Amino acid sequence: MKAIGYYILVEKIKEEPKKVAGLILTDKTNTENRYIKAKIISLGNLVKGVEENDVVFYDKHAGHGIRKEDKLYHVIQIQDIVLVE
């Protein structure tokens, strides 16, 4: 699978549950996070500023999901990325 144009294919990175005051916050309870951590799988030919395998944070409301071979990927655009790790 290859992204084209200005699109970026990413795979979400599962983060370890965080503990606050002895309570474990799961993805469902930790709603204050606005951004999702992901690894770039494929870049469109017009994307500049990031590379494949970069770890990025993007807005959780951005893009859409694509399921292939029981894996869920997300398609986003460069303007959705806020940080590169």
Q: Which H, E and C letters describe 43-77, residue by residue?
A: ECCCCCCCCCCCEEEEECCCCEEEEECCEEEEEEE
pLDDT band at 23 (very low <50, low <70, confident <90, very high): confident
Dihedral over Cα of 55, 61, 9, 5: its sign: negative
* Distance from the Cα of residue 11 to its chain's centroid: 6
Average pLDDT along the chain:
89
| DSSP label at residue 34 | -
Query: Does position 13 have pLDDT exceeding 70, yes or no?
Result: yes
pTM to 2 decimal places: 0.80
User: So what's the pLDDT on residue 28?
Assistant: 59
Mean pLDDT, rounded, for 37-49: 96
User: So what's the pLDDT on residue 25?
Assistant: 67
**CA 54, CA 51: separation in Å to the nearest integer?**
6
Q: Set out the domains of the chain in order of their start, with CATH numbers.
A: 7-15+33-84 (2.30.33)
Mean pLDDT, rounded, for 46-62: 96
